[in-house]
Amino acid sequence: MYLFPASPVDLNMGRFSERLRQLREERNITQSRLAQLLDVLPCVYNRWENGVATPYWDTIVKIADILNVSLDELAARGKAKDADAEAKTRNPELHRLYQKADQLSDEDQKALIIVLDSFVKLSHVNRAITG
């Protein structure tokens, strides 16, 4: 038994397609790149963004995950969060570097995440040792 429809979802296509384009552009992702991340042809993705077609439910969930937004935000329901507001840090230099890191390739971002995670864990260990 399916919990979610396997067929395209009935959305307000004008709002959804516009929101999809807006969120993609805010993250500096091309249509081709997002299509690649979703494992669909660029022409299929283009139809979603132009409001000609609707993605399947599981694809909508993947889009929200990739764009790091809630389903409500993707569907333009409720108050949308400012994408940049979440990313701000107290240190301006760190924030500036974060913005640049967001433009790196997926592979480079994964490597950076590993380095940062290791550094944070090491800092926690050092703090625990020194009390």
- The sign of the torsion formed by the CA atoms of 29, 30, 34, 37 equals negative
Q: Which residue has the tokens 């590993």?
A: 114
- The Cα 99–Cα 103 span in angstroms is 7
Whole-number pLDDT of residue 5: 43
> Fold for domain 13-81?
434 Repressor (Amino-terminal Domain) (1.10.260)
Q: Which amino acid is at 53?
A: A
10-residue mean pLDDT series, the chain (131 residues): 44 76 90 93 94 90 91 73 51 79 84 89 88 71
Q: Taking CA 101 as the corner, what is the angle to CA 44 and CA 104, rounded to the nearest 5 degrees?
A: 45
Whole-number pLDDT of residue 128: 86
Tokens of 5: 């429809």
Whole-number pLDDT of residue 62: 93
